[in-house]
Structure 1
Amino acid sequence: MLPRKRKLSNSGILSNSYIPPLSAAQIERELQKLPPDSLYSLTHVWLSIPATKPLPDANQKKQGYTKDSLSRELLKKLELLKNIKVKINMKKKLVNTILVEFYPRGLNTLQLAQIDVQLLVDKPSVNSWVSSTAKIVSSTSDIPEEGDKMREKKLNQLSNYTISLDSQLFLDNFVLNLSNLFLTHVYISRHPHYPLILIRVQMYNYSYRRPDDSTSSTIISDLTNSSLDRTAKLKFEQDFQRIVSNKTDSKRGKAATNGVQRQIQIQNKPQITPHKPFYILLPISSPHVIHTPPVGDSVGTKLILQTLETTLSYTNVQREAQKGNIGLNSSILTKTKIKIFPDSDVPTPIRNLDAIFTLKGISRFGSSMGPWIPYADDLVDMGVLGNELRHQILQPEQFVDLSPGAESDPEHAEREKVAALKFKGCMRKTKSKELSNAKNKENYEHDTQGEYDIPNNDQVDDGAREAVNDIYASIVPIHECNFEIEDTLSQFFSQRKRKGTTQRKPKRDPAAREPPFRFKMSFFGSDVFGGLHELAVNEYVNPYETPDWLTGESGTLGGVVKNGRFRKKT
């Protein structure tokens, strides 16, 4: 039995049952994004939980249908769709059935949120992500200025705040804090495969069309507009409360006798306009915060992150007060704040949820890239508590073989081996299911007004699966990487001489000071270092002379190479 959750009574929280005025074409477009199995499982969930069960219309009520009996009848129809063997045909039929029979009035905010969250799981390459780190700040003087050259060093000196949440308490505080600023709908869930909390925040603007100008399409006044008189504002509040509680005005509905009057009634009602959903991903027991990239100087993004800081600060005060048996109003605790700072090692958004979680989650792969991957995967030194039956010698089918085939000529086979060792660190690359370090694939779901299960779906994006199991693909596919090279010709030729080349150093005047040369290298693609690995095998890049910093071991940031020595760029 699912636990009963506290209901939050706040006018800034949009109800789960509110049905946005979307057209059938818009709803169909949202449903078509999901794979057939996910859509089927999600529809089964919708017909099973109270918040998303369809309401019977007037004719169905006359036939004696209730909300529960109608849902049972529709579940039987849904079961019949399993007999359609071709997945594409089944999906097409299911979408039409949802629009016409199951939910002709449209989908509510909870259903739309569940579609978006399920899409994050099924197609991790759809959204872009950046990361930030939660830091403990004792005073405002600890926060470095934006233009400070020592900003990165000062931030590293601050202690990280490990996010360990009482999910229900955190959820209540976060929703209440955010609802004081905007009309919002917040949906919180857990990733079915990773130890990762998913938060979807949708913010809304609302406006009101003045009754005396109801036939005009140009005059829309916001609630805060001074041109609205007291009576109009009061009327707006009454209508707005109906939107929040998802109630309709029956008297007004009866007064509409033709299409023109109905359109005028719609214009007279408060109009709520949704913002693009903002996602926050919180790896469990980690100081990192993964979130949607801010678009320009977005006020909404700043408010959401500031609300997250406020909620984490309040949670930290309660935690420390319990530890030290100190009052909540103690000056020591109230001065301590949690601030979120952008990570400098992810300068550009990463368009892959699996990749950003590998870098910023609890996985060891994030700090062991390129040739160091076997150390993170226990292929070199297996832990004391490790499962010896998992070793690659006993289970070779669990790994992607990088060794050359028997038909390869010796020279090409040697090149393949060197390239595999340079870029992957071993001759067998771990398959996708081993990368997350999240072996417990429990599937459970949290929501702001109720707790529901989202279907467990192992069907991932086919393109992502092929990329991960490809012999050249990187664990973390980097889309962009930049290097700044600074060297001198004499140093450059001396390095080549030490490597055994026969190229002669040109004669130069010993009295003349040799100026250094500088240039930039920028790599772009779906997987930069996986592409370099493939080029090395196909003899476009020399794997014997490829430097370590070009094999991906430096991560996502790139850096500066001066006189052959690599350092990360801050």
Structure 2
Amino acid sequence: MAPHATTTTVPDCKNIPHSHRLPVTHREVVRTLGKLSRLSLISLAQQWLMKKNRDFCPPYLLADQDPNDVDVEDQYDPAHSCDELLETYKVLGARKGGKREVLDRILEGDWRTGISMYQLATAEIQHLLDHPTALRWTAKRLAKIPNSRSAVHDMEVTNDSDHLPRFQAQTFMANLARELTPLMKAHYLLMRLKTMPITILRVYIHDSPYSTEQSLATETSSSDGAKAVFFIWPNGSPFVYSSLATHLGQVVGDDGRHLRDIVQQAIPKAFSRPSARYQLASTNFTARSLDALLTYRGPGKSNGAAGGFSIFQDHSFSQNALDFITSQKTDDAEKSGAGGEKAGPGRPKRALDDAEAPEAKRRREVAEGRFGTSAKPNDGQGLDRFEVRIDDPFPPIPNSAARADGDTSDLNAQPANRSRRGRPSLLDRSAAEIEEIQDRADEAWVPDVRVTFQGPHVFAGIRQLVEQGVVDGEKMPGWMTGEAGVTIGAVKNGRIRTKDRVPGV
């Protein structure tokens, strides 16, 4: 007899298609679908059963049943058609129940043969929409690389319509795949959301030379499980948000960050063309809230109009911007004069005194002037972390003679030489900055002082401190109001330092 033919799998140069499936017991499938609510699972199932998605999300129907397994009792009887299954999920959505009921039906019934890569991607995007603060995002600015034949334009302030590259989905995805295919196998899903003015790209990184279903089903024992990277483009904005798809408590290792950096470096190359080259520049801005990202780095918000300048970006008044202060006081006076109650029978001729103390009213007005319409407790635009490094010299000590007699060797020592645990911080001084400080060591002492604000809404908390009188709102520096539009930076002479026309460090 002839020997049995063996199937040999060789490395290829293909991307992972939407239709490739993962087993229902796969770690990524169980973890991703298990994080969704009942309503989200039902909504996803209805989305998968739409006619345009059935090729990527084929359910298990009666026609797929093996005739030899007819006698086997199934907990969920297969449906005759996709339309019948769609009606079943509409009935599930109309009545109350638990999440486990829908999850078991999806994994053990209607999609028992496996969850496709398209289904897994849409499930992760749905979880992102349900929990907008689940991931930490880093904002980058798409900048045009200047050349000798074209004039240099700042993409953040120019009104030229040609400063942004044209975004054509098929061309961009083909260019991105051409850049990444020699380095890794990946699955791509580009989706424009209807609920938010953003376009989201999910890249599932498969660290294997094979793009078959068998290689996808093989689970690795690596603790660094961050295999998906998200990128978001706000509509009409030069910014790009990037984040690793992690779950709560997961520690992202160097391998996951390295793979994210590879994809991040390929994005501007996919936008570039022979006459225009682009790069991703740092903005020193990170946040967990997508609403905060759209507020500080969204459409029309690229000029850093934050803090007290927020009144000019959200059109909170209809008068000329130069006449805002005068016109507002005049309008308030007219309202207080015309809107007051007229004296009559049973009414006092003089208005009752306001319960708010004059000092509290003054502090509230100062806070309104410094923060504008921003930094409200329940505005949904909170930043959870803000850290700065103070580069101003330490105030001179009055008794300079006593200081000269004492041992000051530890004062001039640079804290940058201390060993820090973990990854290096963006606030660490560069070699040039350390050398500059050492050259002026005889004139002034510049210690490494860092201030970190942390909480659900940092600037709303600072605004409340101003209203309560804990912080002097009139003497408070502008960077404490968030007007610099960064979450990390170095302060010198009371202002956030600017490097290459970008505020931060």
TM range (shorter): 0.5 to 0.7
Aligned to 1:482: 388
Distance 2:176 2:488 in 1: 36
* Partner of residue 420 from structure 1, selected from 355, 358, 368: 368
SS at match of 2:483: coil
Instruction: Give yes or no for contact 1:164–1:285 (8 Å, CA) kept in 2.
Output: no
For normalisation by structure 2, the TM-score amounts to 0.64
Deviation (angstroms), 1:110: 0.5
Alignment of 1:301-316 (within 5 A): 301-313=260-272, 316=273
Residue-by-residue CA offset, 1:222-242 (whole Å, 9 max, x unaligned)? x6xxxxxxxxxxxxxxxx67x
Instruction: Give yes or no for contact 1:163–1:287 (8 Å, CA) kept in 2.
Output: no
* Partner of residue 70 from structure 1, selected from 76, 81, 106: 81
* Partner of residue 304 from structure 2, selected from 367, 384, 394: 367
Please state if 1:125 is matched with 2:31: no
Quick one: structure 1 residues 205 and 483, their matched pair in 2 at CA, closer, same or farther if it must change by over 3 Å?
closer
Aligned to 1:286: 237
Higher relative contact order (CA 8 A, sep 6+): 1
Instruction: Give yes or no for contact 1:133–1:343 (8 Å, CA) kept in 2.
Output: yes
Deviation (angstroms), 1:277: 0.3
Please state if 1:543 is matched with 2:459: no
Residue-by-residue CA offset, 1:279-333 (whole Å, 9 max, x unaligned)? 22223443333222696475423432343233222xx34xxxxxxxxxxxxxxx4
Distance 2:443 2:172 in 1: 61
Quick one: structure 1 residues 112 and 521, their matched pair in 2 at CA, closer, same or farther if it must change by over 3 Å?
same
Distance 2:443 2:496 in 1: 21
RMSD after superposition? 4.4
Deviation (angstroms), 1:363: 3.0
Alignment of 1:49-448 (within 5 A): 49=51, 50-51=54-55, 52-56=57-61, 60=65, 69-85=80-96, 89-137=97-145, 162-206=164-208, 243=212, 271=218, 276-292=227-243, 296=254, 298-313=257-272, 316-317=273-274, 333=275, 338-346=277-285, 349-364=286-301, 367-381=304-318, 408-423=356-371, 425-426=372-373
Instruction: Give yes or no for contact 2:78–2:109 (8 Å, CA) kept in 1.
Output: no
* Partner of residue 36 from structure 2, selected from 26, 34, 37: 34
SS at match of 1:343: strand
In structure 1, give the amino acid aligned to 2:111.
Y
Aligned to 1:525: 455
Distance 2:155 2:83 in 1: 57
Instruction: Give yes or no for contact 1:359–1:366 (8 Å, CA) kept in 2.
Output: no
Deviation (angstroms), 1:341: 3.4
SS at match of 1:116: helix
Distance 2:297 2:65 in 1: 52
Aligned to 2:433: none
Quick one: structure 1 residues 366 and 40, their matched pair in 2 at CA, closer, same or farther if it must change by over 3 Å?
farther
In structure 1, give the amino acid aligned to 2:309.
W
Question: Which consecutive unaligned segments of at least 5 residues does structure 1 have?
Answer: 1-9, 143-152, 207-222, 224-239, 245-265, 318-332, 385-390, 394-404, 430-467, 493-505
* Partner of residue 556 from structure 1, selected from 486, 493, 500: 486
Distance 1:58 1:544 in 2: 75
In structure 2, give the amino acid aligned to 1:99.
L
Deviation (angstroms), 1:343: 0.7
* Partner of residue 46 from structure 1, selected from 45, 48, 67: 48
Quick one: structure 1 residues 558 and 185, their matched pair in 2 at CA, closer, same or farther if it must change by over 3 Å?
closer
Deviation (angstroms), 1:79: 2.0
Instruction: Give yes or no for contact 2:21–2:116 (8 Å, CA) kept in 1.
Output: yes
SS at match of 2:203: strand
Distance 1:175 1:204 in 2: 13
SS at match of 1:99: helix
Deviation (angstroms), 1:354: 2.4
Quick one: structure 1 residues 33 and 193, their matched pair in 2 at CA, closer, same or farther if it must change by over 3 Å?
same
Deviation (angstroms), 1:91: 3.0
Distance 2:290 2:36 in 1: 17
Deviation (angstroms), 1:109: 0.7
Distance 1:46 1:383 in 2: 51
Instruction: Give yes or no for contact 2:142–2:281 (8 Å, CA) kept in 1.
Output: no
Residue-by-residue CA offset, 1:18-39 (whole Å, 9 max, x unaligned)? 2113517763432232344332
Quick one: structure 1 residues 307 and 161, their matched pair in 2 at CA, closer, same or farther if it must change by over 3 Å?
farther
Distance 1:154 1:44 in 2: 45
Deviation (angstroms), 1:98: 1.6
Compare 272-281 and 477-486 and name the one that shifted more: 272-281
Deviation (angstroms), 1:169: 2.3
User: Would you tell me which structure has more helix in proportion to its own residues?
Assistant: 1
Instruction: Give yes or no for contact 2:136–2:288 (8 Å, CA) kept in 1.
Output: yes
Distance 1:469 1:94 in 2: 39
Distance 2:364 2:230 in 1: 41
In structure 2, give the amino acid aligned to 1:95.
L
Instruction: Give yes or no for contact 2:388–2:491 (8 Å, CA) kept in 1.
Output: no
Deviation (angstroms), 1:67: 9.7
Instruction: Give yes or no for contact 1:28–1:95 (8 Å, CA) kept in 2.
Output: no
Distance 2:489 2:32 in 1: 41
Deviation (angstroms), 1:199: 0.9
Quick one: structure 1 residues 38 and 22, their matched pair in 2 at CA, closer, same or farther if it must change by over 3 Å?
closer
SS at match of 2:21: coil
How many residues of Structure 1 are paired with residues of Structure 2 in the alignment? 392
For normalisation by structure 1, the TM-score amounts to 0.58
